[in-house]
């Protein structure tokens, strides 16, 4: 028994569960409204199945988009598979949830970032000094809505 509660690992497991549930719903019912997803994953992670030519082109990570056309979305307990179109060629991919680095749904300004983990589930160092991307930027505070919880108290 350890003397520490690993909150970070528990949160990442819960967020991956959320992601799996969202993808299961999309597999059953399609993408609702204007929702679309950008999913970035580690192409070298265990269990990733992509064609060799894609692995050579995206040797470290790759971002896929689930938006207008995708097929055969199947969600398993530890991974999902999907068929996408690359240069007029339909390609099947299998992506373990542990390989996912980021999940973004721009239609609702939702972004999830996952820490890399080793085979024991321990967090690996993350490069926090890397360049900022749109996903990483903080929302403009002028657009934020502040809600007082006092209005919900009796």
**For 26-81, what is each residue's pLDDT tens digit?**
999 998 889 999 999 999 999 999 999 999 999 999 999 999 889 999 999 999 99
In this prediction, residue 35 carries a pLDDT of 92
**Phi, psi at 27, each rounded to 5°:** -65, -35
For the chain, which residues make up each domain, given as ranges? Answer: 7-152
CATH class for domain 7-152? mainly beta
In this prediction, residue 46 carries a pLDDT of 94
What's the alpha-carbon Rg for the chain, to the nearest Å? 18
Q: Which long-range contacts (CB under 8 A, 24 or more apart) does 118-126 make?
A: 121/6, 121/9, 122/9, 123/8, 123/9
Mean pLDDT of 88-115: 90
Above 50 in pLDDT, residue 92?
yes
Above 90 in pLDDT, residue 99?
yes
Burial of 32 (0-12, 13-18, 19+ CB in 10 A): exposed
């Amino acid at each position: 028994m350890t003397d520490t509660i690993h909150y970070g690992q528990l949160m990442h497991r819960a967020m991956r569960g959320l992601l799996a549930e969202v993808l299961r719903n999309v597999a059953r019912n399609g993408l609702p409204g204007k929702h679309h997803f950008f999913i970035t994953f580690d192409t070298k992670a265990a269990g990733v199945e992509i064609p060799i030519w894609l692995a050579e082109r995206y040797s470290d990570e790759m971002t896929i988009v689930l938006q207008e056309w995708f097929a055969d979305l199947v969600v398993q307990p530890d991974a999902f598979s999907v068929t996408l179109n690359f240069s007029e060629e339909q390609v099947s991919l299998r992506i373990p949830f542990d390989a996912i680095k980021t999940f973004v749904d721009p239609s609702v300004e939702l972004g999830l970032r996952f820490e890399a983990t080793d085979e024991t589930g321990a967090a690996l160092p993350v490069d926090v000094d890397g360049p900022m991307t749109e996903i990483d930027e903080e929302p403009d505070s002028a657009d934020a809505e502040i809600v007082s919880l006092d209005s919900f108290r009796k």
